[in-house]
């Protein structure tokens, strides 16, 4: 499909999403469950602050995350060269955002990394089939 057409569809979708969330008000608070593995107490506190900030930032930009509960799994990645070298959304039950992190990254490093915002943005769209991945990635990229 022509990228310009894709872009138009994305803009149309974002417009519809924006107006629908505006009118429904999305008055719920997601229950957050952060599971961490391999982090010290100090690193775990940094990660908790970062994730809380990231959710706030995404919800202020888009709207409340459209889920009743959210699980975020954080695993230490050894020899990482960036704050979040790998992440994905797992559409199981419950839906999870899985993050591999550099345990030594600072809060500022994490906040300045794009990955968490990107993965959280995926939660606003349902899982789409392979030919429609451009919509998921295009939405999360914006
Ligand atoms: Zn993505």
What percentage of residues in the chain have a pLDDT greater than 70?
Answer: 78
pLDDT recorded at residue 132: 82
Q: What spacing in Å lies between the alpha carbon of 96 and ligand 1's midpoint?
A: 14
What percentage of residues in the chain have a pLDDT greater than 90?
Answer: 61
pTM: 0.77
Q: What spacing in Å lies between the alpha carbon of 122 and ligand 1's midpoint?
A: 7
- What's the number of domains the chain is made of? 1
pLDDT recorded at residue 43: 97
Q: What spacing in Å lies between the alpha carbon of 121 and ligand 1's midpoint?
A: 8
Residues contacting residue 40 through CB under 8 Å, at least 6 positions apart? 103
Q: Is the pLDDT of residue 62 over 80?
A: yes
pLDDT recorded at residue 8: 54
Q: What spacing in Å lies between the alpha carbon of 140 and ligand 1's midpoint?
A: 6
Distance, in Å, from the CA atom of 26 to the CA atom of 64, rounded to the nearest integer, reads 6
Range of the domain at 82: 3-141
Q: Is the pLDDT of residue 23 over 60?
A: no
**Do 67 and 91 touch, CB atoms closer than 8 A?**
no
Residues contacting residue 104 through CB under 8 Å, at least 6 positions apart? 43
């Amino acid at each position: 499909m022509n990228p310009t057409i894709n872009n138009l569809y994305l803009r149309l979708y974002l417009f519809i999403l924006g107006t629908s969330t505006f009118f429904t008000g999305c008055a719920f608070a997601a229950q957050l469950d952060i599971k961490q593995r391999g982090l010290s107490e100090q690193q775990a506190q940094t990660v908790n602050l970062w994730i809380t900030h990231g959710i706030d930032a995404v919800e202020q930009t888009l709207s409340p995350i459209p889920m009743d509960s959210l699980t975020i799994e954080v695993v230490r990645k050894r020899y990482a060269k960036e704050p979040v070298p790998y992440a994905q959304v797992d559409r199981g039950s419950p839906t999870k955002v899985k993050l591999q992190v550099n345990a030594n990254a600072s809060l500022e490093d994490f906040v300045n990394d794009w990955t968490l915002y990107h993965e959280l943005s995926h939660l606003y769209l349902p899982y789409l089939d392979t030919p429609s991945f451009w919509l998921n990635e295009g939405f999360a990229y914006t």
